[in-house]
């Protein structure tokens, strides 16, 4: 790009507001930067009169953006407009997906031994000897130079990111890669890398970003490993509870291969990458000051109550062992019975389906005991580039082959869900504008291609297709006619396909008798229904909705009572243990939940 076109073209800008309670932290920043680097234009972020390069992790993080903070994203150059549009869409998605880490409530318990209170990272109970962290560094001459080690480290992080793509921890590896990239451009030796990381870490001490220090240490360790340096954790071969100031994210996988029973960390946070990986590994863990715990002393780590118990009495040990056994039994019962029907105490069968986002999650749902797919979110195919008809058909075929009962939701974008290649008008209230079923009018070609792929993949097998954000009977009727004409145009048999609606717009609650005449089924989407009932946008930075409000359950009851077609629920409320009992009592018979919640949801039903 020439000098004049870069510096004299009109800048394109937008204002973005952080809505995640975690702030704009390392993982989402890394994804943001990773996309920003694909554009040739200059991209900056401006906040409180400070302007930084939005293409590097460290500079963007230096703004220290917390919840409710806003910043101006500005791009200047040939592809500036496209850059801002795509980055704004990604930012919105990142904020929506970045769930705030829940502070786990502590259960009440009384122990006779001395108790040390801590913060719960991951629930569970461990009983074993306390062991303080020790390590030993080894060196093997392997002839790998610094530049080769950097390249190998980038490749390793890339591989880890792709391998864990479907898991919560995937963003950790992308974040570390971007962090390493930001430093690698400034150094030309291992010594320089160590010095720079030391300086960066020192600057973070006492700041909101102090948790990032472990990631700096981790990337240094990765580079050193490629050059023959290795850090060996010196751990016992008998069961132990590990006491450490902190651990590196890369050490959690190694820890899982040892006799570790539990972990206590002194210097970390609930949102650290180490904490995320400990939760994922299911290792009972606390954040606590363990200074008074003696080496090799038998202790109880009760991560239900948030306690370390030293010098436990025989009664304490019995109590902890019983809770440990109960936890294990519940896990085994839920896992062992995940393929069984979910029957209430009154022997009424409740069907448990899965909400899936792609082929991998559908396979996981199958393994976890799902009886079908209650919600296939087809948005997974519509990412940075529009998928071809062939790609859509192939993905749908793979998912449809796993279950006999599948409900597909047509493309649901708009509001807080944007696509970089989908041009939608700028709206003051996008949640009340063009989204869901309204795309049939604004983007008919896109919707025809999707329906073509769905019908082709079905190959005549029974299938349910539902339209999102329907507010009137006419909207449903027009969408169904559109679908029938698509099938006729492409000579596809849809005799076995049923059509229904997502119940998420309040107007539908007053029109159920009319909808009964045209729809084949209903699926209640409580996430959107709740936000529209209370007129509070679900991504709002400060206003929150009570998802357990009687109003929400009354709305659901209205649908169940008036509908004469099958009704299911696929919103987050369906998998909420506190809501399941009420949902069943008002007549709900089909719940669709996340794959990982299937076994526990079935077990919860068995106690209602």
Class of the CATH-defined domain 337-605 = alpha beta
Classify the phi-psi angles of 143: left when phi > 0, otherwise alpha if psi is within -120 to 50, otherwise beta. left
- CB count within 10 Å of CB 284 equals 24
Domains in the chain: boundaries: 3-97, 114-134+234-335, 136-231, 337-605
* pLDDT band, residue 531 (cuts 50/70/90): confident
Give Rg (Cα) of the chain. 27
Beta bridge partners of 567: 522
Alpha helices in 404-518 (DSSP H): 439-442, 444-458, 473-489, 512-515
Q: Report the C-alpha gap between 75 and 341 in whole angstroms.
A: 55
pLDDT at 411 over 50: yes
Output the pLDDT for position 210: 75
**Averaged pLDDT of the chain:** 87
Residue 571 predicted with pLDDT over 90:
no
443 in active site: no
Average pLDDT of 214-232? 87
Half-sphere exposure of 73 (CA within 13 A, CB side): 26
For the stretch 436-445, pLDDT in tens is 788 888 889 9
Lowest mean pLDDT among 185-189, 320-324, 381-385, 507-511: 381-385
Q: What are the CA-CA distances from residue 311 to residues 113, 116, 128, 322, 457 (Å)?
A: 5, 11, 12, 18, 63
CB atoms within 10 A of CB 228: 14
Average pLDDT over residues 262-273: 88
pLDDT of residue 1: 46
Q: Give residue 22's pLDDT.
A: 80
**Which of 429 and 54 is assigned the larger pLDDT?**
54
Residue 8 pLDDT more than 90?
A: no
Return the pLDDT at 168: 59
> What's the DSSP call for residue 386?
P
pLDDT recorded at residue 183: 87
Q: Residue 138 is inside which H or E element, if any?
A: strand 135-139
Residue 234 CA: distances (Å) to CA of 137, 230, 420, 538: 10, 12, 50, 47
pLDDT higher than threshold 50 for residue 417 = no
Mean pLDDT computed over 375-399: 86
In the chain, % of residues over pLDDT 70: 91
Q: Of 505, 563, 556, 558, whose CA–CA distance to 529 is shortest?
A: 505
Helices 190-204 & 213-226, crossing angle to 10 degrees?
A: 170
* More confident: 422 or 149: 149
pLDDT value of residue 597? 85
User: Residue 428 above 60 pLDDT?
Assistant: no
CATH entry 3.90.920.10 includes domain 3-97: no
In this predicted structure, what is the pLDDT of residue 73?
A: 95
Which CATH number among 3.40.50.10490, 3.50.30.10, 3.40.50.300, 3.60.20.10 corresponds to the domain 114-134+234-335? 3.50.30.10
Residue 310 has pLDDT above 90, yes or no: yes
Q: Does 284 have pLDDT greater than 70?
A: yes
| Angstrom distance (rounded) from CA 18 to CA 65 | 7
Q: What is the pLDDT of residue 416?
A: 44
**DSSP states of 532-558:** HHHT--TT-SS----TT-HHHHHHHHH
Asked whether 434 and 442 are in contact (CB, 8 A), the reply is: yes
State the pLDDT at residue 202.
Answer: 85
pLDDT at 51: 93
11-25, 40-54, 194-208 — most confident range: 40-54
> How far apart are alpha carbons 148 and 141 in whole angstroms?
14
C-alpha 507/C-alpha 522 separation (Å) is 14
DSSP 31: H
DSSP string, 329-374: HHHHHHHHTTTS-EE-TT--EEEEEEEESSHHHHHHHHHTT-SSEE
Of the listed ranges 158-172, 477-491, 557-571, the least confidently predicted one is 158-172
Contact 209, 64 (CB under 8 A): yes
* pLDDT above 80: residue 422: no
- Which of 25, 273, 443, 452 is labelled catalytic? 25
Beta strands in 141-288 (DSSP E): 229-233, 240-244, 260-265, 285-287
* Maximum mean pLDDT: which of 227-231, 431-435, 475-479: 475-479
Which of the listed ranges 68-77, 222-231, 546-555 does the model predict with the highest average pLDDT? Answer: 68-77
The pTM (predicted TM-score) of the whole model is: 0.57
């Amino acid at each position: 790009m020439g000098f004049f076109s870069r510096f004299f073209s009109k800048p394109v800008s937008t204002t973005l507001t952080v809505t995640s309670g975690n702030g704009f932290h390392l993982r989402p920043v890394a994804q943001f930067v990773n996309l920003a680097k694909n554009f040739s234009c200059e991209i900056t972020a401006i906040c409180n009169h400070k302007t930084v390069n939005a293409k590097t992790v460290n500079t963007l993080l230096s703004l220290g953006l917390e919840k409710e903070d806003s910043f101006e994203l500005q791009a200047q150059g040939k592809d500036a407009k496209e850059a801002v549009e795509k980055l704004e869409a990604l930012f919105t998605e990142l904020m929506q997906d970045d769930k705030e880490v829940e502070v786990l409530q502590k259960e009440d318990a009384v122990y006779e031994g001395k108790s040390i209170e801590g913060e719960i990272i991951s629930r569970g109970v461990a009983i074993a000897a306390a062991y303080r962290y020790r390590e030993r560094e080894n060196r093997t001459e392997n002839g790998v130079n610094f530049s080769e080690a950097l390249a190998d480290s980038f490749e390793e992080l890339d591989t880890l990111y792709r391998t864990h793509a479907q898991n919560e921890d995937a963003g950790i590896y992308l974040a570390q890669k971007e962090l390493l990239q930001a430093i690698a451009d400034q150094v030309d030796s291992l010594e320089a890398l160590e010095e720079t990381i030391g300086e960066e870490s020192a600057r973070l001490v006492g700041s909101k970003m102090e948790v990032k220090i472990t990631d700096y240490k981790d990337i240094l360790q990765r580079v050193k490993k490629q050059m023959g340096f290795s850090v060996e954790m010196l751990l016992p071969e008998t069961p132990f509870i590990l006491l450490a100031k902190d651990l590196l994210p890369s050490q959690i996988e190694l820890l899982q291969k040892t006799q570790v029973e539990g972990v206590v960390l002194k210097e970390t946070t609930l949102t650290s990458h180490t904490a995320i990986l400990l939760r994922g590994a299911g290792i009972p863990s606390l954040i606590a000051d363990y200074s008074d715990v003696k080496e090799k002393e038998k202790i109880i780590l009760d991560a239900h109550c948030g306690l370390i118990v030293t010098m436990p009495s025989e009664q304490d040990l019995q109590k902890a062992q019983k809770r440990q056994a109960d936890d294990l039994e519940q896990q085994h019962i839920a896992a062992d019975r995940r393929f069984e029907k979910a029957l209430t105490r009154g022997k009424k069968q409740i069907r448990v389906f899965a909400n899936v986002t792609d082929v991998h999650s559908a396979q996981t749902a199958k393994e976890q005991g799902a009886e079908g797919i209650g919600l296939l979110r087809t948005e997974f195919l519509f990412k940075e580039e529009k998928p071809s008809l062939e790609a859509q058909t192939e993905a749908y075929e793979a998912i449809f082959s796993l279950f006999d009962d599948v409900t597909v939701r047509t493309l649901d974008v708009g509001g807080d869900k944007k696509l970089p290649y989908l041009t939608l008008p700028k709206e003051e209230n996008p949640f009340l504008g063009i989204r869901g079923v309204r795309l049939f009018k604004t983007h008919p070609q896109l919707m025809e291609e999707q329906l073509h792929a769905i019908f082709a993949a079905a190959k005549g097998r029974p299938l349910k297709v539902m339209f999102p954000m329907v507010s009137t009977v006419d909207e449903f009727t027009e969408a169904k006619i559109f679908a029938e004409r698509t099938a006729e145009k492409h000579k596809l048999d849809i005799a076995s396909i049923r059509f229904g609606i997502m119940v998420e717009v309040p107007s539908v609650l007053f029109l159920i008798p009319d909808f009964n005449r045209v729809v084949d089924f209903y699926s209640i989407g409580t996430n959107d229904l709740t936000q529209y009932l209370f007129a509070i946008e679900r991504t709002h930075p400060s206003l929150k909705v009570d998802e357990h409000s009687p109003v929400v359950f009354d709305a659901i009851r209205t649908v169940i009572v008036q509908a004469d077609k099958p009704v299911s629920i696929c919103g987050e409320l369906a998998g909420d243990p506190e809501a399941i009992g009420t949902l069943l009592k008002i007549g709900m018979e089909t719940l669709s939940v996340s794959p990982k919640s299937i076994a526990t949801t079935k077990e919860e039903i068995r106690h209602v």
